[in-house]
Amino acid sequence: MRSEELFEQSKKYLVGGVNSPVRAMKPYPFFTKRGAGCRIFDEDGRSYIDYCLAYGPLILGHAYPRVVEAVKAQIENGSAYGTPTELELNFAKKVTQALPSAEMVRFVNTGTEATMGAIRLARGYTGKNKIIKIEGAFHGAHDYVLVKAGSGATTHGMPTSAGVPEDTTKNTIIVPFNDESAMENALKDEDIAALIIEPIIGNAGCIMPKDGYLKFLREATADNGTLLIFDEVITGFRLAYGGAQEHFGVLPDITTLGKILGGGLPIGAITASREIMENMAPLGKVYQAGTFNGNPLSMAAGLAALKALEDGSVYEKVNSLGDRMRKGLADITKDIGVESRIYGIASMFQMYLTGMDVVDYQTALKADKDTFLKLQQELLKNGVFFPPSQYECNFISYAHGEGEIDETLSKIEESLRSLP
């Protein structure tokens, strides 16, 4: 197998043969040659219906034609200038129109940079030091938030990373998701600059907020003079064009974006009201900068993607496919008698192999992650790519159709039946 050979060589030059830990798979990951629509093709001539979709960005599928055209047209004119462009202005207008809480934007290159900048901005604006983070949520791989973090950090058993100084982690307070009294307690501290939260936790599988929980957080943080940061790197342009804040009708003070925003190219963004945003340099004292911030390729790709998403027809299609998938999974597991909980919304879903409701990180950890991985491997053999962890979320794209969902469901049924 060519993937296996490439992996053997890669291990000599790339740590664990990969550039991001979530990509590690046993015995080795398939190496991708190309992607098209809802499919990804590997170096061994195999193809997979893709529900990983690069861990979230590809709501339009691989190589969406209008995004490809926009990037091709832009690169002919250069890929970085170190000066402002009209593209950034146009894209900033689009983003602020889309998100109910956004008046201004700072474009950065990754979700990690976005949350790092947003937390610094919240600290600078409030003059307070601590932040509250939800147990098992993931906000990228920087020091403030690599404490009880989900995604690959949990998959690989290092939710709190080595190399993060205690001086940093002591300012990050961890509270379980969906637990109002724990949050009330944590918010008694006067020194909390911000609560950062994924409105739906997409990095410990897919965990839904209880009814009223996000509204409670809105009120409780406002009462305490703490800023509410919605990390919408996954949910932004996924749950709805206006993200989770539009869907749930709860407006955060600061929003972080990434993934879908870049149309498949690297991106991140920090958005908030003018009053908060103007605390950033060059106007304010909170420093944030980047050589590739607002780079024209990501701007062009993102603009093309948002143009395809703004009329809402993409959401109608992907959300109904999401419903079909979730219902199918519930029916199949019930038929076979496999204990499971199926969660998700819109075009996000995850199946936990457990007989217990999953409402937070601790209940997510109780699911049978080993059997989940066996299922994931069996699915790969059958041409379906789920991310290789119980603690990731699956996504559906505009390029998927009912045919692919039904084909996937029957392969899941077959694979579940074949497991010992």
Q: Which residues bind ligand PLP (CB under 6 A)?
A: 110-112, 115, 138-140, 198, 202-203, 231, 233-234, 258, 268
Residue 101 corresponds to which tokens in the numbers above? 């809480």
Per the CB < 8 A criterion, the answer to whether 39 and 49 are in contact is yes
Per the CB < 8 A criterion, the answer to whether 310 and 98 are in contact is yes
Shortest distance (Å) from residue 375 CB to ligand PLP: 23
Q: Which is nearer to ligand PLP, 48 or 138 (CB)?
A: 138
Q: Which is nearer to ligand PLP, 111 or 294 (CB)?
A: 111
Phi, psi of 200 (to 5 degrees): -125, 130
Q: Which is nearer to ligand PLP, 92 or 234 (CB)?
A: 234
Shortest distance (Å) from residue 6 CB to ligand PLP: 23
Residues near 225 by beta carbon (within 8 Å), at least 6 away in sequence: 126, 128
Q: Which is nearer to ligand PLP, 209 or 258 (CB)?
A: 258
Shortest distance (Å) from residue 369 CB to ligand PLP: 19
Q: Which is nearer to ligand PLP, 17 or 111 (CB)?
A: 111
Q: Which is nearer to ligand PLP, 29 or 258 (CB)?
A: 258
Shortest distance (Å) from residue 203 CB to ligand PLP: 5
Give the CB-nearest residue to ligand PLP.
111
Shortest distance (Å) from residue 164 CB to ligand PLP: 16
Shortest distance (Å) from residue 105 CB to ligand PLP: 16
Q: Which is nearer to ligand PLP, 231 or 404 (CB)?
A: 231
Compute the distance between CA of residue 199 and CA of residue 213 in angstroms, rounded to an integer: 9
Shortest distance (Å) from residue 232 CB to ligand PLP: 8
Shortest distance (Å) from residue 113 CB to ligand PLP: 7
Compute the distance between CA of residue 104 and CA of residue 291 in angstroms, rounded to an integer: 20
Q: Which is nearer to ligand PLP, 110 or 221 (CB)?
A: 110
Q: Which is nearer to ligand PLP, 35 or 202 (CB)?
A: 202
Shortest distance (Å) from residue 273 CB to ligand PLP: 21
